[in-house]
Structure 1
Amino acid sequence: MDTIEIQRVAEIEDDNWWYRERREIIARELRRLGAPGRAVDIGAAGGGNTRVLLDHGWRATAIDNTETAVDLCLAQGMDAYYADACFLPLPSGSFDLALALNVLEHIEDDATATAEITRVLRPGGTALVSVPCDMKLWSTHDVALGRIRRYTRRTLTDTLATAGLALDRVWSCNVVLRPFVRLRRHRMAHCEDMANVHPALNEGLSLLTSLERRLPLKSWPGVTLFARAHRPT
């Protein structure tokens, strides 16, 4: 993610429906994990996800490969470092939780990045990963965001397993919106601008994603894949 995109994320993520839903997913997973410990947010961007960790009592470290993102996190009083996800400047076995949300799709060598996640986790530690789903949805939106690939359930779970992580759960998000996203992005000649979502549409999409949480759709194809895994003891 480049400097301009990170600045745009920082400006909109507090109110934008997509980022709000992602924070809700993180909060739900944190509640399942129980007592807070030490966490690393890899690809922290504007620091929105790191704030969720801090708000839930976790000792959080933000990592990003752009100085703009690190500066944004530092300005909010966060512990933040500039680093490549394939070479994390962190001690092995030192974290209870690692977030890598919409990170792996930007990295050519996603196997090495995932192995680094495994390395920094303590035995029994948890990894929470999200990636864009399905190359059938590939569009100019992906190109503009600097993505290299979209994942299937199989490619995501194989990537995690190859890195030595044991899968706990994998699920889809934005299932209801998938047909609309596929149609809209394939018709667009440029990247969809999330900053220009009308407030009424933004709230409508928030309600829709909230409703989807209550529906048995997590095994259906969606726009995004989430996976929770752990480093075996």
Structure 2
Amino acid sequence: MDTIEIQRIVELEDDNWWYRERRGILARELRRMAMPGTAVDIGAAGGGNTRVLREHGWEAIAVDSSTTAVDLCLSQGIEAYHGDARYLPLPSRGQDLALAFNVLEHIEEDRDAAAEIARVLRPGGTALIAVPCDMALWSAHDVALGRVRRYSRLDLVDLLEGAGLVVERLWNWNVLLRPLVRMRRHRARHREDMTQLRPVTNEALRLITFVERHLPVKSWPGVTLFARAHRPWF
């Protein structure tokens, strides 16, 4: 992720519907866990998700391949390190939680990155993963963001299980918005720019994701795929 993209994220993530709801998903998953511990936010960018971890009592550190992202995290008082997701600068079995939201799709060697997630987790430790779903949605938006793939449910399960993790839950997000996303992105010749959203549009999209949260649609095709997995005790 380049410097301009990271700066755009920092400017957007406090108010933008997509980042706000993604932080909400993280917060809800954290509340399902027994107690906080050590955590690493891989591909932390501006540190928005790292802050959520810290707010919930986690001893969280950020790792990013961009020095700009690391500097931004450090400026907010977040412990942060420069590192590649395929070669995390962390000891083995040291983390209770590994977070990788929208990271794996940017890496050709995603199996190496998944293996690193498993390596740094303690036995019984949890991995929370988010990736873009379904190559049928592939568009110029993905190319502009530097993605190399989108994942099916089977793809993601195979990746995580291949790293030695046990998948506990798999669910889709932005199910209700998928038809609109597919139409807009297949018509566009360049990436969608979220900075162009008007406040009324931003609020409408936020309300749609709120409604989706309470509907039994998480197994339906969506735009983003989430997974919760753990490293086995033995």
Which TM-score tier does this pair reach, normalised by the shorter chain? over 0.9
The alpha-carbon deviation at position 189 of structure 1 amounts to 1.0
Please state if 1:80 is matched with 2:80.
Answer: yes
CA distance in 2, matches of 1:216, 1:165: 26
Equivalent residue number for residue 227 of structure 2: 227
Aligned CA-pair RMSD: 0.4
Q: After superposition, what is the alpha-carbon deviation per residue over 1:180-212, rounded to whole angstroms, capped at 9, x for unaligned?
A: 000000001111001111100101111110110
User: For 2:22, what is the secondary structure of its paired residue?
Assistant: helix
User: For 1:148, what is the secondary structure of its paired residue?
Assistant: coil
CA distance in 1, matches of 2:194, 2:156: 26
CA distance in 1, matches of 2:227, 2:85: 18
The alpha-carbon deviation at position 15 of structure 1 amounts to 0.3
CA distance in 2, matches of 1:195, 1:46: 16
CA distance in 2, matches of 1:224, 1:88: 25
Equivalent residue number for residue 182 of structure 2: 182
Q: After superposition, what is the alpha-carbon deviation per residue over 1:86-139, rounded to whole angstroms, capped at 9, x for unaligned?
A: 000101000000000000000010000000000000000000000000000000
User: For 2:32, what is the secondary structure of its paired residue?
Assistant: helix
User: For 1:128, what is the secondary structure of its paired residue?
Assistant: strand
CA distance in 2, matches of 1:2, 1:145: 9
Equivalent positions of 1:130-209 (< 5 A) are 130-209=130-209
Unaligned runs of 5+ in 2: none
Equivalent residue number for residue 94 of structure 2: 94
Q: After superposition, what is the alpha-carbon deviation per residue over 1:26-46, rounded to whole angstroms, capped at 9, x for unaligned?
A: 000000012110000000001
Equivalent residue number for residue 25 of structure 1: 25
- The residue type paired with residue 89 of structure 2 is P
Equivalent residue number for residue 3 of structure 2: 3
User: For 1:127, what is the secondary structure of its paired residue?
Assistant: strand
User: For 1:33, what is the secondary structure of its paired residue?
Assistant: coil
CA distance in 1, matches of 2:84, 2:196: 31
User: For 1:215, what is the secondary structure of its paired residue?
Assistant: coil
- The residue type paired with residue 214 of structure 2 is R
Q: Percent identity?
A: 70
CA distance in 1, matches of 2:79, 2:114: 22
* TM-score, normalised with respect to structure 1: 0.99
CA distance in 2, matches of 1:155, 1:187: 26
CA distance in 1, matches of 2:86, 2:11: 27
CA distance in 1, matches of 2:196, 2:79: 31
Equivalent residue number for residue 111 of structure 2: 111
Please state if 1:65 is matched with 2:65.
Answer: yes
Unaligned runs of 5+ in 1: none
CA distance in 1, matches of 2:70, 2:196: 25
The alpha-carbon deviation at position 2 of structure 1 amounts to 1.2
CA distance in 2, matches of 1:73, 1:34: 27
Q: After superposition, what is the alpha-carbon deviation per residue over 1:57-77, rounded to whole angstroms, capped at 9, x for unaligned?
A: 100010000001001000000
CA distance in 1, matches of 2:168, 2:226: 11
Equivalent residue number for residue 12 of structure 1: 12
Find runs of 4+ consecutive structure 1 residues off by over 6 angstroms.
none
